[in-house]
Amino acid sequence: CGDVNRNVMCAPDPTLSRFHADVFPWAQKISDHLLPRSRAYHEIWLDEAQGKTLVAGGEAEEIEPLYGKHYLPRKFKVAIAIPPFNDMDIYANDIGLIAIEENGKLAGFNVAVGGGLGFTFGRDDTYARLASTIGFCTPEQVLDVCFHTVAIQRDYGNRQDRKLSCFKYTLDRFGLDWFTQELHARLGFALGKVRAFEFETTGDRFGWRSTTDGLWHMGLRLEYGRVLDNDTHRLKSALRSIAEQNLCGFRMTGNQNLILTGVREDDIDTVENTLQAHGYAADASHLSGLRRNSIACVALNTCPQAMAEAERYLPDLISKLDVSLDKYGLRDADIKIRMTGCPNGCGRSVLGEIGLIGKSPGRYNLYLGASSNGDRLNTLYRENLDEAAILNTLDGLFADFAAKRIASEPVGDFVIRQGYLHFVQNLR
């Protein structure tokens, strides 16, 4: 894990609206602005040098202008969300930028800092944290805001204990007020007041949508981001056929799904027929709301950090949970379930209305109560459950939810209202 800023994430299709088109380039601009200026990668991996080259000595030491000699204590993540969709899980990032629209144009960004989801079992000083919104900046200011935020983490982040080296711990160690004052001092100006906005959901939208360029895009549900051929479908072959016919572009979402972009109206039937001919349904409406909104990390046997299954197991678990959902008339309820094989947070389990985090092979901690729009973490409800206990516990929850739900109340809000657990902002 390189201790620099990672790829900046944003809603992946800029043709959805003029506002999307205004916001999208800023992801690339921020990414470019925070890229290391070192040529170390080229020197190691690319055969560019001609003739003899000094290996050591004789040249001035290269110091990266942002990351310095020692880079960051830990990797750094930046994302941009476009309300009302929080499909980037914006509060999970070190810097979360919330695009604000005024009169149809990009006015700027609300700035949230200090998000991070990973923690360590057995260490109470590690915890998940949602990013804190500290102000508003204009588009002209956002590059400097990101640069100096990263620089503060470079200068003050914990380099003695890697478990406590993330930016969220730096913020909590020094305090949010201290950080805001330090940022303003480095910027030479103060951030503006937070602008009003509203998030509705963290989920993706599936199916066809017209775009501003007169074309169409389709949100395609993938199972945990996997494009493959198996016994039930041949999605990899289908997408290859679509690509060979030059029918669309392909963009991944932050929720492990796929968007087919730039589809001509005359080609919509061809795209759908190609998918169906390979056994893959173009429409996700046949899936339960639980399955449509599920996320899992790779876990076993790919990840050495995993203590339990996730990606390979969650589909089967959902099939068993769907029996309960059907029984209680909840099949179409958009319930967000997330599973990870360890508490590092790659599948964002602590932001799932139902979160399952592996403790050992076949056993999971069960977390409940996150909001459906990503602005509240869940909290521990039951520990070390096997499959039978998971199914029994959630069957009881679904029965209660079906009987006492108010209108279209999300299940995460329901468990808070019904007293299953108490609201928590941070897992400590």
- Whether 258 has a pLDDT exceeding 80, the answer reads yes
If one counts every other C-beta atom within 10 angstroms of the C-beta of residue 326, the result is: 11
The pLDDT of 42-58, averaged and rounded, is 63
- Whether 208 has a pLDDT exceeding 60, the answer reads yes
Counting residues of the chain whose pLDDT is more than 90, the rounded percentage is 89
User: Among all chains, which residue has been given the structure tokens 């997330």?
Assistant: 338
What is each CA distance from 244 to 57, 108, 233, 249, 251, in whole angstroms?
A: 51, 40, 19, 11, 16
> Quick one: pLDDT band at residue 345, thresholds 50, 70, 90?
very high
Provide the edge-to-edge strand list for the sheet that holds 294-296: 294-296, 337-340, 354-360, 363-368, 379-385
Which of 59-68, 86-95, 368-377, 393-402 has the lowest average pLDDT? Answer: 59-68
Which of 50-54, 406-410, 414-418 has the lowest average pLDDT? Answer: 50-54
The pLDDT of 154-180, averaged and rounded, is 97
Structural domains in the chain, sorted by start:
14-187 (3.30.413.10), 207-277 (3.90.480.10), 289-417 (3.30.413.10)
* pLDDT score, position 428: 39
User: Among all chains, which residue has been given the structure tokens 């009881």?
Assistant: 396
| Phi/psi at 210 (5° precision) | -75, 150
pLDDT in tens, 82-140: 999 999 999 999 999 999 999 999 999 999 999 999 999 999 999 999 999 999 999 99
- Whether 427 has a pLDDT exceeding 50, the answer reads no
User: Among all chains, which residue has been given the structure tokens 């690319």?
Assistant: 46
The pLDDT of 214-221, averaged and rounded, is 98
What is each CA distance from 217 to 52, 87, 248, in whole angstroms?
A: 52, 17, 8
Whole-angstrom distance, CA of residue 5 vs CA of residue 10: 15
Reference 4, options 60, 61, 68, 91; nearest CA is 68
Whole-angstrom distance, CA of residue 372 vs CA of residue 199: 9
The pLDDT of 233-246, averaged and rounded, is 98
What is each CA distance from 39 to 36, 48, 205, in whole angstroms?
A: 9, 11, 40
- Omega before 273 cis (within 30°)? no
- Whether 51 has a pLDDT exceeding 90, the answer reads no
| pTM for the structure as a whole | 0.93
Whole-angstrom distance, CA of residue 96 vs CA of residue 84: 15
User: Among all chains, which residue has been given the structure tokens 């399955």?
Assistant: 291
More confidently predicted of 120 and 423: 120
Q: CB within 8 A of 352, min separation 6: which ones?
A: 295, 336, 337, 338, 367, 370, 378
Whole-angstrom distance, CA of residue 398 vs CA of residue 368: 12
Which of 85-89, 147-151, 219-223, 421-425 has the lowest average pLDDT? Answer: 421-425
Token pair of 334 as six digits = 């958009």
Angle at 72 between CA 70 and CA 76, to 5 degrees: 155
> Quick one: pLDDT band at residue 144, thresholds 50, 70, 90?
very high
> Quick one: pLDDT band at residue 37, thresholds 50, 70, 90?
confident
Reference 132, options 148, 116, 154; nearest CA is 116
Read out DSSP for 303-333?
-TT-SS--TTTHHHHHHHHHHHHHHTT-TT-
Residue 347 in 3-state DSSP? coil
* pLDDT score, position 39: 74
**Partners of 95 in the beta sheet?**
78, 113
* pLDDT score, position 55: 54
- Whether 424 has a pLDDT exceeding 60, the answer reads no
- Whether 42 has a pLDDT exceeding 80, the answer reads no
Q: Running DSSP on this structure, what letter comes out for residue 195? A: P
* pLDDT score, position 53: 54
Q: CB within 8 A of 33, min separation 6: which ones?
A: 143, 146, 147
Helices (H) and strands (E) in the chain, counts: 11, 13
Read out DSSP for 24-90?
HHHHHHHHHHHS----HHHHHH-----S---SSSSSPPP-BTTTBTT--SS-B-EEEEBTTB-TT-G
E strand or H helix at 340: strand 337-340
* pLDDT score, position 422: 63
State the average pLDDT for the chain: 94
